[in-house]
Structure 1
Amino acid sequence: MKFSIDHKSPVPLHIQAENLLRTMISEPEHLNGKFLPNEVELAKQLAISRSTLRQALNKLVYEGLLIRKKGIGTKVAEPVISSKAKNWQSFTQEMTARGIVVKNFELHVTWVTPEEKIANFFDIPRDKKVLKLERLRGKVEGPFVYFISYFHPRIGLTGEENFKRPLYDILEKDYLVVATLSKEEVSATAADKFIASKLEVEPGSPILFRKRFVYDQGERPIEFNVGYYRADSFVYTVESVRE
């Protein structure tokens, strides 16, 4: 199948390229671990620059649809077994629904230069600083989760906000940014010394690690979040509907 970019369209080139790539990787010749044409060939085929193509590729890489191997190429990720949580809510909303009073043990706000994976997710330059919010949270008896959030500069957060308020309440009411879509990855890992000290467990203890990619109503990225949960204090519940 031949793919092409409409250079007269008001839709940005990297968005068009992203949509074409999504179609391409669903084709039989590219499914389940097959490699895409190299970047030079693909950029030439689409009549766009390699930097524009790379923006589109990065988006799919960080969604887990593509796997990039240095010196080898980019291939389509093989399907994995996953579950999607239904009726996604903020942490405060989840705990309130369970009748749990949330306590903030630590709260740190800083402006940082983002790592490459975060800059790519937000589609911003590496030298563009982003707001970083770190929170150690739990029940009155003790902490059981350590969150690290990064926010797109487009939102307009200043760092002076009262982050004791529910996060998505701040975004919606103060900045008219509505978090509507969450894509998550959950895995098991071992606590390093830093996380172990925060969660009050021994280094090497099993913990639940969750990455959350949050988007607004226009499916624009607004938050990159990671959470480390004590395995003995938190259960990740998934509700699925068979279609």
Structure 2
Amino acid sequence: MKLSLDHTNHIPLYLQAEQLLRDLIKDPEYVNGKLLPNEVDLARQLAISRTTLRQAINKLVYDGLLIRKKGIGTRVAGITVSSKSNNWLSFSQEMHARGIPIKNYELHISWVIPEDAIVNFFQIPPGKKVLKLERLRGRPENPFVYFVSYFHPRVGLTGEEDFNNPLYEILEKKYHIIANLSKEEISAKAASKIIADKLEIAAGDPILFRKRFVYDQGDRPIEYNLGYYRADSFVYTVESRRE
């Protein structure tokens, strides 16, 4: 594809490059995940400096339209996943309702002695082991969320369950426990090296961190959940209505 800018136009070259890139990434071959031409070749083809080109690319990255990976290149960002706080479902149920196919990249189960924050939430004796479930999940193209869940011993999970199935369906159908209430804390933070490697981003990149406290119908704690989301792939939407 021949790409060029009008160097006689009064519109600044970086703005022309930005618009050209916006048009380019609508092409099916780029929407489907093909990497954009590398910056050196593209700058040469457009007869502009890499600094000018990078200014245009940075704007599209900031707008969430492009994803840049060091050592790999730049590609079109996938459709952002959104979660609405007024309609709480399990992750699997919510993605299914939105028609978003989900792939499980990692699943780890272990019995651990929890930290004080979890002990206090569950109100269990210090030193008592709980089931820990770690799951790396996302679209077929790439992971976008890493979950770490801890479960109250009272729940009865053994670790032998098929956690490829929706978690809360397992709790309800097998253990007659209904997750009824979720309280959440949401913040932005920089990705640690471990989280960055799992989410395929750079260490220090921004992520959405969500801490979720789940209760049953008797308001008893059943799950302590930590979620680490790629900032370029997830939006958390809050909807409020004034009574």
Give TM-score scaled by structure 1 length: 0.65
> In 2, are the aligned partners of 1:132 and 1:148 still within 8 Å (CA)?
yes
**Match of 1:222, as an amino acid?**
I
Q: Distance in 2 between matches of 1:91 and 1:123?
A: 26
Q: Distance in 2 between matches of 1:171 and 1:99?
A: 23
- Note the 1:126-165 alignment, pairs <5 A: 126-165=126-165
Q: Which position in structure 1 is the counterpart of 2:172? A: 172
Q: Which position in structure 2 is the counterpart of 1:203? A: 203
Q: Which position in structure 1 is the counterpart of 2:184? A: 184
Q: Which position in structure 2 is the counterpart of 1:217? A: 217
> In 2, are the aligned partners of 1:107 and 1:134 still within 8 Å (CA)?
yes
Kindly tell me the number of residue pairs found equivalent between the two proteins.
160
Q: Which position in structure 2 is the counterpart of 1:242? A: 242
Q: Would you say 1:112 and 2:112 are equivalent positions?
A: yes
Please give the per-residue CA displacement for 1:161-202, whole angstroms capped at 9, x wherever unaligned.
000000000000000000000000110000000000000000
Structure 1 residue runs of 4 or more that deviate by more than 2 Å after TM superposition: none
- Note the 1:40-119 alignment, pairs <5 A: 85-119=85-119
Pairwise CA RMSD: 0.9
Cα deviation for residue 93 of structure 1 reads 1.1
> In 2, are the aligned partners of 1:188 and 1:209 still within 8 Å (CA)?
yes
Report 1 or 2 for greater relative contact order, CA contacts < 8 Å, sequence distance ≥ 6.
2
Q: Which position in structure 2 is the counterpart of 1:54? A: none
Cα deviation for residue 97 of structure 1 reads 1.4
Q: Distance in 1 between matches of 2:163 and 2:85?
A: 25
> In 2, are the aligned partners of 1:148 and 1:226 still within 8 Å (CA)?
yes
Structure 1 gaps of 5+ residues are 1-83
Larger radius of gyration: 2
**Match of 2:222, as an amino acid?**
I
Please give the per-residue CA displacement for 1:46-79, whole angstroms capped at 9, x wherever unaligned.
xxxxxxxxxxxxxxxxxxxxxxxxxxxxxxxxxx
Cα deviation for residue 122 of structure 1 reads 0.1
Structure 2 gaps of 5+ residues are 1-83
Cα deviation for residue 135 of structure 1 reads 0.1
Q: Distance in 1 between matches of 2:217 and 2:227?
A: 23
**Match of 1:129, as an amino acid?**
K
Q: Distance in 2 between matches of 1:137 and 1:237?
A: 20
Q: Distance in 2 between matches of 1:170 and 1:185?
A: 25
Q: Distance in 2 between matches of 1:93 and 1:141?
A: 20
Please give the per-residue CA displacement for 1:13-37, whole angstroms capped at 9, x wherever unaligned.
xxxxxxxxxxxxxxxxxxxxxxxxx
Q: Percent identity?
A: 73
Q: Distance in 1 between matches of 2:202 and 2:184?
A: 26
> In 2, are the aligned partners of 1:85 and 1:240 still within 8 Å (CA)?
no
Q: Distance in 2 between matches of 1:238 and 1:138?
A: 22
Cα deviation for residue 238 of structure 1 reads 1.6
Q: Distance in 1 between matches of 2:231 and 2:214?
A: 24
